[in-house]
Structure 1
Amino acid sequence: MTSRSASGAPSLHTVQVAIEQYGDASQLKLREVTLPAPEAGEVQIRHTAIGVNFVDIYHRTGLYPLPVLPAILGVEAAGVIDTVGPGVESLHPGERVAYAGPPVGSYASVRNISADRVLPLPDDIGDDIAASLLLRGITAHMLCSYVYPVKAGDTVLIHAAAGGLGLVMVQWAKALGARVIGTVGSAAKAELAKEHGLDEAILYRERDFVAAIQAMTDGRGVDYAIDGIGGKTLIETLGTVRPFGMIASIGQVSGASGPIDLSLLGPARSVALSRPSVFRFVSDPARYREGGLATFQRLRSGMRAKVGAVLPLAQAAEAQRRLEMGETSGSILLRP
């Protein structure tokens, strides 16, 4: 339903999933509000696919506090431009687009967003594919080009290799010529990761992954480890990396690791620990577009998207629950 704003510009109703306070998934509430016309420099996007990411859960719980509450969650989506605001010349109504990163607000049927956060979608890349891995692709680009430039012959460890980011990271590192070892929670997830290029899988519930890595690398250790689990896993991962290798801590699914004693990094180990933020990375418009274009190029070169589940927007709480419980492989999408 459309109406007119005070300025005479058209406005419409949008369905949103928002939180009024931090907490568990029960805090996610469906609401319908009137969306004003886009302001100068903005576009109005009718979403066709919305990505669900672990950062949405961090926002919901308050682990990563939001600027203000109430707030609409979500940082990734694809759709079609309905309307452009004054001064927007590079984008047009009817154009397919995608975006990833802040500000939050993608858990909505329609939203307004700054035009400089929007990337036009090539005709050969579908909406679901873009919404399922644009943020993850940019993250992989950051991790493999900026945090530690992965090169042919490197050995890379990826925790949760069958997850949404894990499957993207496996393919990205393999495309750069790396040997990729991953931890997974089941034989089925090991098979899925191997179908996406994983060289060797470690079932961490059945085998000590530190000892396994040392055996697989003849005691040398990996060149680069990427950990989104946190907690005890991050500390243990220190024992998997070769001297002067790198660990990237990119999440804390199992909880915060707490203060890390620098003596754990050296001198015996002599490893580097990085805590990179993809949100900080995409805050630079040039890097944001660079990462987006790199993701599109990887897709054209054969990178596959794995969508594990598609749920209605109204079931956003269930989508987050499944993600928290590790019940899906690949990405989860919401359909407005």
Structure 2
Amino acid sequence: MMSAGEEVRSVVLTGYGGYECLKVKPWPIQALGAGDVRVAVAICGVNFSDLYTRQGMLRELQPPLVLGTECVGEVTAVGAAVAHIKVGDHVLCYKFTGGLYRDHVVVAASHCFVLPPGMSYEDSAALPANYLTAYFCVHDIGHMRAGQSIFISSCAGGVGWAATQLACSAGDVTIFGTCSPEKHDAVRENGVTHPLTYDGYEQELLKHSPDGVDIIIDNMASSAFTINQRLLKPLGRIVVIGANSMVTDSQKFGWWSFLRLWWSTKNVSARDLIMQNRVVAGLHLGLLMERQPNTIQSAMSHLFQLYEQGKIKPHIDSIWPFDKVVEAMRLLAERKNVGKVLLRVETADK
């Protein structure tokens, strides 16, 4: 039986900066509250939000702290007020403020989803950050329908891979996506109609679709944000989901970087939106979960159904030992992955 304050192996961010700020070390676990569950972690998902936090882009999260926004494992204890989850359940956990890169976690039951029978830990760990983000972009904000077109930035990444599959589920759609040339075959097999390279992608897209596209998912938030707005058809929708262009291998995110990010995304003119009949939207999955948990639960239930129907299938790029978290994060930061990057947690009691 684990007690509050007992230390468990964790990935701790000791300060903002490079990979030297990441330490795998024992760290105290919190007490089990009435609405919480305790989970023996098997797999963790690696996300750009972890890179944002390490570089200091999310200043509301102050180190030292435990990283990790998603994990999956087996429930070992439940709080007195928890009714829908029981000991022995396999659950998926998502917490946008982090704290889940650990051997064992205590997390609010409202942030957990019981896995359907037969779903692997590996596939389930790829769902929260990637597939939920893609789901809201494609369906709720994008309103993707048969006969429409979509442009997905970084279509070989976790969100891009998920968005491609969810767009395909709408029916007869045309999908454009950027990625490095060596990934074109893989994304084409996943459903991308026209894989594009990052250099000059806008000209290539307009050759195939002179009027532009109906939906854009933008994860870069750089100068491409201005370009992408011009690629929208009338009544087109662009959804900004991140600022991956600002992620580097080891650089701390300073005020000059903040200024450059602000400058590159400030050009959203109300007049232009009206005159061009465009929609510019943003999505913060974690805050949506905090404010509308029922919306998240409903979307995850639908994703489980799509998975069981064979309409979505996460692609696992690689699974790294827990102690190799730096290598896993570096792979993501350098955009060398195709699909999801995971960490496997190995402990003596599993």
TM-score (norm 1): 0.91
Q: Deviations over 1:79-98 (max 9, x none)?
A: 00111122222211111000
1:265 touches 1:272 (CA, 8 Å); kept in 2?
no
Counterpart residue number, 2:253:
none
Q: Deviations over 1:42-71 (max 9, x none)?
A: 111011110011111111212122444321
Counterpart residue number, 1:15:
9
Q: Deviations over 1:292-322 (max 9, x none)?
A: 1121122122211111111111221221111
Q: Please state if 1:65 is matched with 2:73.
A: no
Counterpart residue number, 1:233:
224
**Following the alignment from structure 1 to structure 2, what is the Cα–Cα distance between the partners of residues 179 and 277?**
26
Q: Describe the SS at the equivalent of 2:178.
A: strand
**Following the alignment from structure 1 to structure 2, what is the Cα–Cα distance between the partners of residues 271 and 132?**
31
**Following the alignment from structure 1 to structure 2, what is the Cα–Cα distance between the partners of residues 12 and 94?**
21
Counterpart residue number, 1:274:
281
Counterpart residue number, 1:323:
332
Counterpart residue number, 1:104:
98
Q: Describe the SS at the equivalent of 2:228.
A: helix
Offset of residue 264 of structure 1: 8.9
Q: Please state if 1:131 is matched with 2:138.
A: no
**Following the alignment from structure 1 to structure 2, what is the Cα–Cα distance between the partners of residues 144 and 114?**
28
Offset of residue 214 of structure 1: 1.2
Counterpart residue number, 1:262:
269
**Following the alignment from structure 1 to structure 2, what is the Cα–Cα distance between the partners of residues 141 and 261?**
24
Offset of residue 244 of structure 1: 2.5
Give 1:35's aligned amino acid: I
2:37 touches 2:109 (CA, 8 Å); kept in 1?
yes
Counterpart residue number, 2:168:
174
1:18 touches 1:29 (CA, 8 Å); kept in 2?
yes
Offset of residue 270 of structure 1: 3.7
Tell which deviates more after alignment, 57-66 or 165-174.
57-66
**Following the alignment from structure 1 to structure 2, what is the Cα–Cα distance between the partners of residues 144 and 176?**
9
2:328 touches 2:341 (CA, 8 Å); kept in 1?
yes
1:137 touches 1:291 (CA, 8 Å); kept in 2?
no
Q: Describe the SS at the equivalent of 1:86.
A: coil
Counterpart residue number, 1:8:
none
Offset of residue 280 of structure 1: 2.2
Counterpart residue number, 1:306:
315
Offset of residue 253 of structure 1: 1.1
Q: Please state if 1:290 is matched with 2:298.
A: yes
Q: Describe the SS at the equivalent of 2:126.
A: helix
Counterpart residue number, 1:74:
68
Q: Please state if 1:215 is matched with 2:211.
A: no
Q: Which runs of 4+ in 1 moved over 3 A?
A: 2-5, 263-270
Which residue, out of 67, 71, 80, partners 1:86? 80
Q: Deviations over 1:83-131 (max 9, x none)?
A: 1122222211111000223241111111101111111011121111011
Structure 1 residues 103 and 64: alpha-carbon distance in aligned structure 2, compared to 1, 3 A threshold: closer
Q: Please state if 1:243 is matched with 2:234.
A: yes
Offset of residue 153 of structure 1: 0.9
Q: Please state if 1:197 is matched with 2:227.
A: no
Structure 1 residues 184 and 82: alpha-carbon distance in aligned structure 2, compared to 1, 3 A threshold: same
Q: Deviations over 1:259-297 (max 9, x none)?
A: 225279456644221122111222211011012112112
Offset of residue 216 of structure 1: 0.7
How many residues are matched? 326
Q: Which runs of 5+ in 2 are unaligned?
A: 247-260, 346-350
**Following the alignment from structure 2 to structure 1, what is the Cα–Cα distance between the partners of residues 268 and 111?**
38
Give 1:116's aligned amino acid: S
Q: Describe the SS at the equivalent of 1:244.
A: strand
Give 1:60's aligned amino acid: R
Structure 1 residues 268 and 288: alpha-carbon distance in aligned structure 2, compared to 1, 3 A threshold: closer
Q: Deviations over 1:199-219 (max 9, x none)?
A: 1111224xx2111111111x2
1:37 touches 1:85 (CA, 8 Å); kept in 2?
no
**Following the alignment from structure 2 to structure 1, what is the Cα–Cα distance between the partners of residues 274 and 163?**
29
